[in-house]
Structure 1
């Protein structure tokens, strides 16, 4: 049976999280909006506990946590939800990067069609953007800066601390898509200058279909978000619909487990990474975004090997990918690797392997043998 090495697409659910999801799916199935009986009260309590569990990961208030269907919705809520404020104030400039997830890039493109101007920062060959490029791009009419925390394809961790330092004297809102990093990289997301943090449960060993937007107050004032969906008024009027209590409780448990076990999980991932780098070295691979990268991700290409052929050759051995799961059906060149100015041959050969603390032993030698047969 092949080993699963595609955790950046989706990760396995933690057993403790699965137990919580099952409890609130089957036994405690009440609606958190029902105020007339104990079932609703217990559901509401579960939601509020989860809100607190998420808030603790980034040292913020639980009233700043808004539950969504995932990081994609959270990203859209920030970018599209700030647009009315931009139109009202005349601040219609957005800064983002060329390596963002499509859930950031496409809402930005939608606003460009409505008269907003978007600056796309390009990364260096290491997959990281340069803070000085952000400094050059900032303008008086900049409404929002959106820079992901860690890239889903390369694992490259972006220099958020330096970027936030540049924004100390600027009032632009700052958003980070932390789908790949929330609960995995301590401290950075605690920075109060980050106004918005997008969270995805299924990248944190939780259930699919739920996530959160952390929207920090400035002083006592909430950020001026407008809803992009209507009907019901849940989540401070920003995210209508009956709350999926079982999923939210699962996300809360996943956040708590992450907070408690960050160090041990990272150590386990780094051990696997060292084994991978050692075994793959005989192929003389070219790594993409290897420096300052997540402990559980490598992106590499081997001269003479096409990634599609490699994925087929590795069937039954290892489940890997050649980019984002959201765009894997399109067979277009990776926009992330293209933005890094990599040669087309390397992009066509790029393989992403991503794992987690629950990943079983990986037979890297078998992976190397399978890839060698393609040369």
Structure 2
């Protein structure tokens, strides 16, 4: 019997209904969306447009505000680096972000710094969230972009996007959020019209890997002044050249529509799992990471006194598959920059593990997991 998968913040299982859509467009409706001379191309084009509507509907956007990408990492790069040319022209070369962002935001910010931009990395509270007042205090006349994730992938702590949006008010700076962890899960959170740019990934909402989107909302009649990072075609309004992966796009659309429709049901299922997990582990005295009032229902980041994360994962590897950090930086054994930013010491950060689940997670024998851990404590 294989270990039960509990690493859904890294990637989710493929929803069976989404898999059916994916296979249909891989094997039956395999036309090129750019082919305009036959019905195969026309049906592919219609599938892509339908997916735009499905993705846009989740966040209250319009279909022409959806730019398909390979995932949130590419979307983040397109948002941050794609605005840089216009920012220079407008004299707005200051960026505000946080110390707990995913590397897909922090590394583009570093690239901007190397090209002459000024970047402010805001600290976070011990609870793992950035104070909206700190964002407001960091604003300058030359601030061109504010980028704050919607929820952290390691801790599950939601960020106060609504308060930040209100603090930004009518400041001309664009507001971007890496919404990979909350898209299709926290519906109202992403419908705030002051959020100009949103990055999403299909494989975080029970869709396939290799597909995502950047939602770029218009302000009135003006689109964010994005410039392409790659060249070679006019696809996606000239911002992302290359043949559109129709099957992946259709699957993302299906995943988005289902996620919106079933968000509350899935949230309740995840909350029930959390209750069972905490009831089993509480007698062991775990140290929970982050402000638990702001943590998403499907995530727990914790540590046990005297047991480092590597030893913990080895101890339970035949029971559950869990992680001790972001999958995107798993090759690095340095303490998590997220946990360090929250004030944890190296030893405390190295002791933390993340457990994340979803509505498709198999039933877990939490008592057996607790018994196994008790042997090492």
Residue aligning to 2:345: 343
Distance 2:84 2:19 in 1: 38
Residue aligning to 2:80: 79
Residue aligning to 2:217: 216
Distance 1:110 1:246 in 2: 33
Residue aligning to 1:306: 308
Residue aligning to 2:13: 12
Selected match of 1:367 from 345, 366, 369: 369
> Which moves more between the two structures, 213-222 or 288-297?
288-297
Moved segments of 4+, more than 4 Å: none
Aligned residue pairs: how many?
Answer: 375
Structure-1-length-normalised TM-score: 0.99
Give the C-alpha shift of residue 163 in structure 1: 0.4
Residue aligning to 1:129: 130
Distance 2:365 2:142 in 1: 53
Question: Is 2:257 the partner of 1:256?
Answer: yes
Distance 2:111 2:376 in 1: 42
**Secondary structure in 2 aligned to 1:291?**
helix
**Secondary structure in 2 aligned to 1:22?**
helix
Give the C-alpha shift of residue 99 in structure 1: 0.4
Distance 2:161 2:114 in 1: 28
Q: Deviations over 1:278-326 (max 9, x none)?
A: 1110111111122311110000011101100111111110000001001
Distance 2:168 2:16 in 1: 41
Q: CA RMSD in A?
A: 0.7
Question: Is 2:322 the partner of 1:320?
Answer: yes
Matches within 5 A, 1:156-305: 156-289=157-290, 290-305=292-307
Alpha carbons 1:100, 1:151 under 8 Å: kept: yes
> Which moves more between the two structures, 274-283 or 138-147?
274-283
Q: Deviations over 1:203-225 (max 9, x none)?
A: 00000000000000010111100
Distance 1:213 1:240 in 2: 14
Q: Deviations over 1:75-134 (max 9, x none)?
A: 000000011011111111000000000000000000100110100111111101111111
Structure-2-length-normalised TM-score: 0.98
Distance 1:59 1:107 in 2: 27
**Secondary structure in 1 aligned to 2:268?**
helix
**Secondary structure in 1 aligned to 2:7?**
coil
Distance 1:243 1:169 in 2: 36
Residue aligning to 1:98: 99
Residue aligning to 1:48: 49
Distance 2:3 2:275 in 1: 20
Distance 1:114 1:239 in 2: 22
Distance 1:287 1:355 in 2: 17
Distance 2:264 2:36 in 1: 40
Unpaired runs of 5+ residues, structure 2, are none
